[in-house]
Amino acid sequence: MEGNKMETYWDINKIQEILPQKYPFLFVDSVLELDNKSKKAVCLKNVTINDYFFEGHFPGNPIMPGVLIIEAMAQSSILLYTALRPEIARKKPDFYLGKVEAKFKKPVTAGDQLIIEVCGEKLMDKGGVIKAVAKVRGQVVSEAEILFGVKLKNENNKK
Amino acid sequence: MAKKDFAEIRKEVKALVSEITEIPEGELKDESRFTEDLGVDSMMALEIVASIEKKYKVVIPEEKIPTVRSLQNVYELLEEIMRK
């Protein structure tokens, strides 16, 4: 079953339909690749000097905050989950961040194209574990393992 | 996979659960119920499942997870899967 790779492209409109996060907290610009078989997605965030967080982080030295790289990974994870579990994503569940283990290797700055690769290590109806790698110009800038929960809105009182 | 005896695996699984739940191994009884007695939440449960899968290169079916209520259940399920 090789060669089953879906060369999907999701533009910003599609992303805005899916992600509960909105401006100014949207950190994925497009989905470049989606592969249901290997449970993998490749997403892009164009980092520009116009990004509002550069105003304070840091004046004269624009570095994308690590927590926002994590957020971009988490949002990419939601997009991947949506592709793999469309029947659940359709119900617009809440996504909870459970645990993050991350490493940061290089700073990300204005002008960088942040490529975020997310891979589903374990995906279930109620949550999952994602391995995420962020790269700039082919070099790894950050790696993380993200644990998240998925809960339907009307299920809040149940365990 | 190298054949490991299940007693050894039980010990390893217990250590793993202890690490994730931050409950000392001494307080972790095989019969203790995860949610009621040990306060294990769904996130920890997911982490335990994912760690076991990774460590032993097995797949724990999603529908089996709600039936796992204690460490004893984990051993049984894992042994069942590994015997296959």
> By the 8 A CB rule, do A42 and A83 touch?
no
Provide the 3-class DSSP secondary structure of residue B45: helix
CB atoms near residue B74 (< 10 Å): 22
pLDDT score of A4 more than 60: no
Task: Dump pLDDT digits (tens) for A45-68.
Answer: 999 999 999 999 999 999 999 999
Query: Quick check: is B15 in a domain?
Result: yes
The catalytic position among A14, A57, A106, A151 is: A57
Task: Phi first, then psi: give them for residue B54, nearest 5 degrees.
Answer: -70, -45
Above 90 in pLDDT, residue A74?
Answer: yes
Contact criterion met (CB below 8 Å) for A85 and A79: no
Q: The complex's ipTM?
A: 0.83
| CB < 8 Å to B47, chain A | 98-99, 129, 147
Contact A99 B54 (CB under 8 A): no
- Asked whether residue B1 is domain-assigned, the answer is no
What is the domain extent for residue B36? 6-82
Looking at residue A159, what is its pLDDT? 44
Instruction: Copy the structure tokens of residue A136.
Output: 């700039």
- Give pLDDT < 70 ranges for chain B: 1-4
Nearest-by-CA chain B residue for A148: B43
Residue B76 domain-assigned (yes or no) = yes
Count of residues for chain B?
Answer: 84
Q: What is the number of domains present in chain B?
A: 1
- Residue the block writes with tokens 């570095």: A63
Looking at residue B43, which CATH number applies to its domain? 1.10.1200.10
Cβ atoms of residues A19 and A31 within 8 Å: no
Residue (of B63, A123, A27) closest to A131 by Cα position: A123
Of B50, B62, B65, the CB nearest to A121: B50
